[in-house]
Structures are given as C-alpha cells and as structure tokens.
Amino acid sequence: MKTIAGIILLVAAPATSNPMIVEAPSTWRSLSRAARFNPLASVGIVFIAIFVAFALLAPWIAPYDPAFIDLPHRLAPPSTHHWFGTDELGRDILSRIIFGARISMLVGASVVTGSLLIGLLIGSLAGYYGGRVDRFVNVILMNAFLSFPGFLLAIAFVAFVGPGIFNLILALVIGGWVGYARLVRAQVLAVREREFVEAARALGASDLRILVRHILPNMIQPVIVQGAIGMAGAILAEATMSFLGLGVPPPTASWGTMLNDGRSHLFDSPHLVIFPALAVMFAVLSFNFLGDALRDYLDPRARIEAGL
C-alpha cells in the first residue's frame, strides 16, 4: 500500500508543483490588466497604430493624389466623394492628411532618435566621470543651450540655412537634446555609486562596459518615457514650423502647412482648418497617453497598486 501511495503521489505531483505554469500570469494577461487600468493608453496606442499605418501605406490608403489640383471643385464641403472636403486648389483634404502623417511621423521619430542619442552620449559622460567634465557639460554647455528657447533656436537655424525636412530635423535636434542629456546625467549620477557598479569596477571592467552593460539598463526606463512624450512635442513643433513656412516646402503635404493654407478660409470653409487641427491634436494626445502609460507600467509601485 505504501508503494502504491508513493507512486500515486509521484504521478500527481507535477500537475500542481510547477507554479510557473499554473499560477504565473502571462504577458497577454498583464497587458490586458494594464489596458483596463489605463484605458486612455489603449486609445493612444490605437491612434498611433492608425497614424503609423497612414505613414507606411499612404499611397495605397489615400483615395486621391494629394497634389492633384481640381479647381472646379475647390473649397467643396465634406461629401461622399471627398470625405473631408477639398482645399482652395481642389485637393482632397483626407489624402493630404494621410500623406501628412508621413512627415509628422518621420520628423518626430528622427528628432527623438537624434536628441536621445546625443543626450545619452553627453549625459552619460558627464554623469559617469564627473569633475571637470561634468562642470563643463552641465554648467557651460547645457546652460548655454538652455539660455535660448529651443523653439526660437530652431526657427533661427531654419531661417539661416533654409527650409527643408533635413534642416527641420537638424534644427529640432539642436534645440531638443539638452532635456535628454540632463535626464541621463541625473540617472547616471544616481546609479554609478550602486554596489553592482562598484563590483564591476573592482573586477576590472572597462568604463565602456560598465556604462553599456550595467548603468544603461538600470536607468533607461525614464528615458523611454521621455522619448514617448518627446514624440508629441516633436510632432507639434513640426506642425508649428510648417505653419510658419519653415517646414517642408510645398506641394508636400504637411499638417502645419494645411493649417496655414486654411486660415484665410476659417469662416467660409472651416473644414480646411478643423481636420488638420484634429490630426495634430490626436497625434499629440496619443503619444502623451502612451508616455503616461509607460511611466506607470515601468514604475514598480504603480504596477503593485494596479495589481499588475
């Protein structure tokens, strides 16, 4: 009887003794809980997916050529043929908004990537080495750039070198890297004195290995959140620069250029302004919602409170 009981226990044990299989929540379940905890993040992700699809599949999604001029149907209101109406040259507004998503997504991603790379490099060096390097970067270099508003610096740069998408991206990167550098510097200063960093240094690890393998993975979370929120700021900055005539030159479709073209018809054809403004608003709000959701999801305290 003891032998039979032992065999029964041995066979039955694996069904309940592995908590990783039975009790551990899956990634999908964790994400679904996060979506229920922050429904605005789900809305933001949906709109971001729509804008990314517009940017990647614009030639196949847009119903008309965004540069096609149809003067007999200029300033047409929204209808079944033109869902968002037409502008003062008869161009389809929906098609121009879809193609305008290409410019906004490209400029936003390029500006955040460029600013983040420069900020990571300069902020890591200043925070890790400290001393004279930190004083030069923090007191002289960063304060010199912060003494000028980043947007005014971008306007001056584009006005000097001329409009164009590359010049626009470069101008926004020049005015935006300082915020990332200050954030990275503060995070590196907090992490570099931790025990695992001291242990790696005692084992003879190089400065590059310590920064890349030990410090960077432990301070990247707030940088990711800042990058998501920075996308919203970059999209808004691109629309503003294009509105002022310092963005991509016509006839390239841009949300800011569409707003500038439609302001003279604000009262007789308000759809020329309403739909591009809604596109800018939804894009900016979506990335702000995503940034807030990432901040809560990557914060252990917020995850515990939400039961994630």
User: pLDDT tens-digit profile of 66-80?
Assistant: 888 888 888 888 888
The C-alpha atoms of residue 177 and residue 182 are separated, in whole angstroms, by 9
Indicate the domain borders of the chain: 43-60+83-306
**What is the per-residue pLDDT for 205?**
79
Kindly tell me if the per-residue pLDDT of 9 is higher than 50: no
Supply 225's token pair.
């959140």
57 alpha-carbon distance from chain centroid: 20
Q: What does the buried/exposed string (b/e) look like for 272-286 if buried means 16 or more CB atoms within 10 Å of the residue's CB?
A: bbbbbbebbebbbeb
pLDDT digits (tens, 9 = 90+) for 149-200: 777 888 888 888 888 888 889 989 988 888 898 888 888 888 887 888 878 8
Query: What is the longest distance spanned by two Cα atoms in the chain?
Result: 96
pLDDT 10s digits, 117-140: 999 999 888 888 878 888 888 878
What's the pTM value of the predicted model, to 2 decimals?
A: 0.81
**What is the mean predicted confidence (pLDDT) over 31-39?**
63
Contact 123, 183 (CB under 8 A): yes
Hey, what CATH topology would domain 43-60+83-306 get?
Answer: MetI-like fold (1.10.3720)
User: Which 3-state string (H, E, C) describes 100-144?
Assistant: HHHHHHHHHHHHHHHHHHHHHHHHHHHHHHCHHHHHHHHHHHHHH
Confidence of residue 33 (pLDDT cuts 50, 70, 90): low
Q: Round to whole Å and give the CA distance between 306 and 292.
A: 14
Does residue 235 register a pLDDT over 60?
yes
Give the whole-number percent of the chain exceeding pLDDT 70. 84
Q: How many Cα atoms occupy the beta-carbon half-sphere of 259 within 13 Å? A: 22
What is the tens place of the pLDDT at every residue in 295-307? 777 766 655 555 5
Question: Considering the chain, what percentage of its residues have pLDDT values greater than 90?
Answer: 22
Per-residue model confidence (pLDDT) at position 308:
53
275 neighbors 84 (Cβ within 8 angstroms): yes
Alpha carbon of 3 to those of 10, 23, 196: distances in Å? 11, 30, 50
**Residue 257 buriedness (CB in 10 A; 0-12 / 13-18 / 19+):** buried
Q: Rounded mean pLDDT of the chain?
A: 81
